[in-house]
A and B are shown apart, each in its own frame.
Chain A
Amino acid sequence: MKTLVSLTVNGVAHELYVDTRRSLLDVLRSDLGLTGTHRGCDSGDCGACTVLRNGLPVTACLALAADCGGDEVLTIEGLAVGGSLDPVQQALVEKGAIQCGFCTPGVVMNAVALLRENPRPSELEVRQALAGNLCRCTGYVKIVEAVLSLQEAA
């Protein structure tokens, strides 16, 4: 069964006719071509598909697209505008927090949400906020360091 969904993604309004079984992740990637949001597990365990839905971080694989009517979704592609990286992205680049990079978009979105909510998080708060973003390359050391470096600037 299909249904009509109106949602805003990265500031652009879309009217989509989607199968009710499909996830927000699938629609972002397949219908809108926003492949920066990654599918790591499709079960909400790895965090690679984290996007901001009405300002809150969610795993897009667990959100049904049909449930997102009227929502504002921000994906990784909506952060770097005009070619200049968001401070979170820039910090991850400069601190060496990116290796294979597959988890990176989800990490960025979760860190952006954390810093909007809590501009001066402690290290423990950063680690807890990112506990849902699995990374197999970095041991999280430089990811945490990068997010904390933004706290210092705040």
Chain B
Amino acid sequence: MNQRGSLIGARVPKRDAPQKASGRAVYGHDVRLPGMLHGRILYSKHPHARVLAVDTSRAERLPGVKWVLTSADNPGTRFGYGKDNIPFKGEVVRSLRDEVAGVVAIDEDAAEEALELIRVEYEPLPPVFSAQAALAEGAPLLHPEHGSNLFQGFHYEHGDLGRGESDSAVVVENQFRLPYVSHACMETSVIVANFEPGGRLTLWSTTQIPFLLQRDLAEALDMDGRDIRILQTAIGGAFGRGLDIYPFEPIAALMARKAGAPVRLSFSRREEFQATPVRQPAEVVLRAGADKHGRLTFRDVSALLDIGAYVSWGTVTPLVFIETTASLYQVPHVRFQADCVYTNNPITGAVRGYGNPQSTFYVETAMDRLAEALGMDPVEFRLLNANQPNTVTPQGLVITSCGLKECLEAVAAAADQGSAAGGQGADAALGWAGAVGSTRGGDTTRRRGIGFASTLNVGGGARIYRSDGCGAIVKVDDFGHVCLVTGSTEIGQGSETVLAQIVAETLGVDIAAVSVENSDTDTKPWDVGVHASRTTFIAGNAAHLAALEARAKIFETAAELLQTDPEQLEAHAGQVRVKRDPSRAMPLDQVVRRRHFREGGQMVIGEGWYDPPTKLVDKATYKGNISAAYGFGAQMADVEVDVDTGVVRVLRLVCANDVGRAINPMAVEGQIEGGAQMGLGYALTEELLVSQGRVLNPDFLDYRLFTAADMPRIQTIIVESEDPGGPFGAKGVGEMGGTPTAAAIANAVFDAVGVRITELPMTPERVLAAIEAGERRTRP
């Protein structure tokens, strides 16, 4: 571990893994404070109604109940991106997950029982359950003060669409229907709130945006941000769930304030599926063309998105739709329109990939159709149009490193190897554990196919806010222990470990000598949040800068002691030594002590702040370079479709990703493999069924995640393109694992049975219906 450079690229186990493996990690549900009470929320019984009266008297008399809260307890301010949300809804409810009242009790059972004793009188209002219905003339308005159910439209274009059309030798057109998806974090939402006697609020939270949440909560609670401290517990899955303020957070604080005691508010699994934000459903119409040489000519996309009853980050996903539509492959002419519409359906938020799984699905389906129309090999067609290093896209994305070509070639090679091996080997035997498949005719009803898809993802931050920065502090103590205090957040992705590797490498110390503090807004420097696959790049650069500053101080003192210049020194194996004469060396901790314990002594503290050289997207044109680097990837899906049952079985998924440089290949693989599990679910099994505003499948029995027995063999291939702006050349990888998966599988289904599935997930019913419709067309 002490060879120079050995920590970068090392498969270092996750720092917090022993705690988690032994059941000692403290999650939100595990926080216990003296005198802690328990809160539960009463949700609306109607998707759209006027609230006439709330009678809490019977609930208040139930033994064990301390307080019952209603809209009378609201601070009177609004919160959220659209400033359209409040804690308890006292006048109008707009969805079945609207909070009407809350109970604080000595335990969860008493609180739950009390909910049933609250009497709410409603006057139902006409609801709207689809974006089309919400835009129809005379549709009931969700937020009359907004004047329309159309919250926001996004229009983008580059080039000249007419010219793109006339340059085309082939044109394809499809409509796509994309489903609701839940994060399905294994840990349900939870928060603990406590007011100190002086009035300061402490929250134990699973948020991904501690500093933005401070600000948002200050607004929601009508408090000063300096009076809010957020402590992040171990976080049992995030995937975008914690990227915004949601009503349960101010509600927990209101409960704690009223009770004068700490209050824990935790969701049941049913509540988690019903009340947390979801990926918004969308309907997309796409036209795309290519010329006779196989060059892309144009893309024309219009999308209608149902954002639910309030605005959260689900509303801004068109920004990523635009990025994929305009910049995945080289497209000279692009037009894009998306409308985000209020309905009485569940609120929609950010889910891992954030618009990218959706847009990659339609773009890559069109790529496959164009290749087919041209009679070209799908990989050759993609390679011909692939993004290239050191280019600027018409959208203004400055692409520095780019390994898309290498990724495509890698998955194509893996596909060839698979077919050479005959395909039906041990790998195939693992798929779906023999649980499915036709019951008659042996294998004759099964058809094999392979499909490809690529992905483009921000890999160097994403300037969605005014600052895309992160701060870091590196302290080296008298014993040579190094503490990194980082603004970034650990959500299981391994940021602690990767950042510790960067710091240890820079200071030439063992990884075990570095600890990471990242959970307290009072202590850690600002960070915009853990999203957009940004942490390795942004927090990594900040940690690197802080470590370099600490090292400069150590070298300054060591140079005096070793009678040389600081530039002549290097840090290695816990020593500071002269590069050209390594025998002249001192232990690093000794240098720190000599600097400290002397007249006019100083400590070794380095400070780093990194905000990438990017711009906020232009509000009128949606152009501009929002990320300092871009990650690329390609996937190959090898599937088997049973034409009798419509069951799609993925036998093998090969994932190649350009990550710049893999600081920790084991963690990179983990991100890709986990992303693939979500991508497989998006493709085949996961759909939150919403009817009349109601979630019909709020449990894991009916909302199907891929299990260990369902998973195909996942092969990950890491492509290293050495990004010039990343720490040690690294780029982000957090979201790319699942973005091209649905498209690759849909293209493989086409290869197998010759039908295009344009509605997700590709359930057996949908696949069978498409196969039967295809047969009717070919045999009239």
CB within 8 Å for A130 and B708 given contacts A98-B21, A101-B16, A124-B433 = yes
Interface presence of B72 (CB below 8 A): no
Closest to A130 in B: B708
Does B98 interact with chain A (Cβ within 8 Å)? no
Docked CA distance A25–B157 (Å): 56
A4 an interface residue at 8 Å Cβ cutoff?
Answer: no
Question: A131 and B670 in contact (CB under 8 A), knowing A92-B17, A93-B18, A136-B237?
Answer: no
Q: Does any Cβ of B come within 8 Å of A42's Cβ?
A: yes
State whether A138 and B673 are in contact (beta carbons under 8 Å apart), knowing that A77-B22, A96-B667, A99-B492 are contacts in the complex: yes
Whole-angstrom CA separation of A96 from B21 in the bound complex = 11
Q: For B237, what are the chain A residues with a Cβ–Cβ distance below 8 Å?
A: 100, 102, 136-137
CB distance from B439 to the nearest CB of A (A): 21
Chain A, Cβ-Cβ closest to B668: A96
**Does chain B have a CB within 8 A of A120?**
no
Give chain A residues whose Cβ lies under 8 Å from the Cβ of B235: 100
Given that A131-B709, A143-B708 are known contacts, is A101 also in contact with B25, CB under 8 Å in the complex?
yes
Bound-state CA distance A35–B674 (Å) is 25
Query: B688-704 interface mask toward A, CB cutoff 8 Å, 1 = contact, 0 = none?
Result: 00000000000111000
For residue A29, which residues in chain B have a CB less than 8 angstroms away from its CB? Answer: 30
Cα of A75 to Cα of B22 in the assembled complex, Å: 10
How far is A33 from B433 in the complex, measured between Cα atoms in Å?
38
Closest residue of chain A to B269, judged by CB?
A41
B705 contacts which chain A residues (CB < 8 A)? 134, 136
Q: Which residues of A contact B699 (CB under 8 A)?
A: 41, 43, 45
Q: Tell me which of A80, A101, A103, A136 contacts B234 (CB under 8 A).
A: A101
Q: Is B14 an interface residue (CB 8 A)?
A: yes
B166 at the interface (CB under 8 A from A): no
Which chain A residue shows the least CB distance to B30? Answer: A35
* Binary CB contact string for chain B from 227 to 271 against chain A (1 if under 8 A, 0 otherwise): 000000011111100000000000000000000000000001100
Which B residue sits closest to A123, measured CB to CB? Answer: B430
Decide yes or no: A40 and B186 within 8 Å by CB, A85-B22, A101-B25 being known contacts.
yes
Of chain A, the residue at the smallest CB distance from B715 is A141
Query: B429, A127: Cβ atoms under 8 Å?
Result: no
Known: A41-B269, A98-B17, A134-B186. A35 touches B669 (CB 8 A): no
Q: B677–A139 contact, CB under 8 A?
A: yes
Closest to A45 in B: B700
A141 in contact with B186 given A38-B236, A77-B23, A108-B21 (CB within 8 Å):
no
* Closest A residue to B702 using CB positions: A45
Q: Is the CB of A139 within 8 A of B187?
A: no
Is B186 within 8 A of A35, CB to CB? no
Give the distance to chain A from B706, nearest Cβ to Cβ, in Å: 8
Interface of A, secondary structure class, is: loop
- Which residues of B are found within 8 Å of A142, using beta-carbon distances? 666, 669-670, 673
A40 to B23, CA, bound (A): 14
Interface assignment of B13: CB less than 8 Å from any CB of chain A: yes
The reply to whether A96 and B269 form a contact with Cβ atoms under 8 Å apart is no
Chain B residues with CB below 8 A from A33, complex form: 32
A104 CB contact (under 8 Å) in B21, B184, B711 = B21
Option from A80, A101, A124, A144 in Cβ contact (under 8 Å) with B236: A101
Q: List which A50-103 residues lie within 8 A (CB) of chain B.
A: 75-77, 79-80, 85, 89-90, 92-96, 98-103
Q: Is A3 an interface residue (CB 8 A)?
A: no
Interface size of B by CB at 8 A reads: 62
B contact face: mostly helix, strand, loop, or mixed: loop
Q: Digitize B15-51: 1 where CB-to-A-CB distance is under 8 Å, 0 elsewhere.
A: 0111111111111011010000000000000000000
The one of B21, B186, B700 that contacts A92, using a Cβ cutoff of 8 Å: B21
Q: Judge whether A121 is part of the interface by a CB distance below 8 angstroms.
A: no
> Which residue, of A48, A127, A130, has the highest number of chain B Cβ atoms within 10 A?
A127
Instruction: Select A136's contact among B16, B669, B677, B737, beta carbons within 8 Å.
Output: B677
Closest chain A residue, CB of each to CB of B187: A102
**Contact residue among B24, B32, B187, B676 (Cβ-Cβ distance under 8 Å from A36):** B24
Question: What separation, in Å, do the CA atoms of A118 and B456 have in the docked complex?
Answer: 44
Q: With A35-B23, A100-B236 as given contacts, are A127 and B670 in contact (CB-CB < 8 Å)? A: no
Known contacts A38-B236, A93-B21, A100-B187, A127 near B14 by CB under 8 Å = no
B708 touching A131 by the CB < 8 A rule?
yes
Asked if A144 contacts B708 (CB within 8 A), the reply is: yes
**Do the beta carbons of B27 and A102 come within 8 Å of each other?**
yes
Q: Most B CB atoms within 10 A — which of A37, A101, A142?
A: A101
Q: Considering residues A40, A99, A130, A134, which has the most beta carbons from chain B within 10 angstroms of its beta carbon? A: A99
Chain B minimum-CB-distance residue to A126? B708
Tell me which of A35, A105, A128, A133 contacts B26 (CB under 8 A).
A35
- Given known contacts A35-B23, A96-B670, A141-B669, A136 and B185 CB-to-CB distance under 8 angstroms: yes
- Is the CB–CB distance between B674 and A99 below 8 Å? yes
Determine whether A16 belongs to the interface, using a CB cutoff of 8 Å to chain B: no
Expressed in whole angstroms, the minimum distance between the Cβ of A123 and any Cβ of chain B is: 6
Q: Which residues of A contact B667 (CB under 8 A)?
A: 96
The answer to whether B430 touches A100, judged by C-beta atoms less than 8 angstroms apart, is no
User: What is the distance, in angstroms, from A14's C-beta to the closest C-beta of chain B?
Assistant: 18
B491 within 8 A of A: yes
Which B residue's beta carbon lies closest to that of A103? B186
Given contacts A92-B21, A100-B186, A127-B709, contact A139 B673 (CB under 8 A): yes
B714 at the binding interface (Cβ < 8 Å): yes
Determine whether B61 belongs to the interface, using a CB cutoff of 8 Å to chain A: no
User: With A77-B22, A139-B677, A140-B708 as given contacts, are A99 and B187 in contact (CB-CB < 8 Å)?
Assistant: no
B673 to A105, Cβ gap below 8 A?
Answer: no
Q: A40-B188, A41-B699, A139-B677 are in contact. Are A127 and B239 (CB under 8 A)?
A: no
Is A135 interfacial (CB 8 A cutoff)?
Answer: yes
Q: Which of B11, B24, B26, B433 contacts A127 (CB 8 A)?
A: B433
A36 — which chain B residues lie within 8 A by C-beta? 22-24
**Which of chain A's residues has its CB closest to B712's CB?**
A139
Q: Determine whether the beta carbon of B21 is less than 8 Å from that of A101.
A: yes
Report yes or no: B22 in contact with A137, Cβ–Cβ below 8 A: no
Does B707 count as interface, using CB distance less than 8 angstroms? yes
In the bound complex, what is the Cα–Cα distance between A90 and B669 (angstroms)?
A: 19
The answer to whether B187 touches A40 (Cβ under 8 A) is: yes
Please pick, from B11, B268, B494, B676, the residue contacting A99 in the complex, using a CB distance under 8 A: B494
- Residues from chain B with Cβ under 8 Å of A37 in the complex: 23
Most buried by A among B23, B494, B699: B23
Q: Which of A48, A90, A143 is B186 in contact with, Cβ under 8 Å?
A: A48
In the docked arrangement, what's the CA distance between A47 and B278, Å? 23
A39-B29, A136-B705 known; A101-B22 Cβ under 8 A: no
| C-alpha gap A85/B19 in the complex (Å) | 10
Residue in contact with A128 in the complex, picked from B20, B433, B678, CB distance below 8 Å:
B433
Tell whether A46 is near chain B: CB-to-CB under 8 Å: yes
In the complex, are the beta carbons of A137 and B23 less than 8 A apart? no
A100 touches B673 (CB 8 A): no
User: How far, in whole Å, are A144 and B27 apart by their CA atoms in the complex?
Assistant: 25
Q: How far is the CB of A125 from chain B (nearest CB, A)?
A: 10
Most buried by A among B21, B269, B674, B701: B21
Q: What are 17 pairs between A and B in contact, CB < 8 Å?
A: A35-B23, A38-B186, A38-B236, A46-B186, A93-B14, A99-B674, A100-B185, A101-B19, A101-B234, A104-B21, A105-B21, A128-B433, A131-B708, A136-B237, A137-B492, A139-B675, A140-B677
Question: Interface on A for B, CB 8 Å cutoff?
Answer: 29, 33-43, 45-46, 48, 75-77, 79-80, 85, 89-90, 92-96, 98-105, 108, 123-124, 126-128, 130-144
Q: Which 6 A-B pairs have the closest CB atoms?
A: A36-B23, A101-B20, A100-B492, A102-B236, A76-B23, A139-B673
**Other than the known A98-B14, A99-B492, A100-B186, what 20 A-B pairs have Cβ atoms closer than 8 Å?**
A33-B32, A35-B23, A37-B23, A46-B700, A75-B23, A79-B22, A80-B22, A94-B13, A96-B670, A99-B674, A108-B21, A127-B711, A128-B709, A135-B186, A136-B184, A138-B670, A139-B676, A140-B708, A142-B670, A142-B673
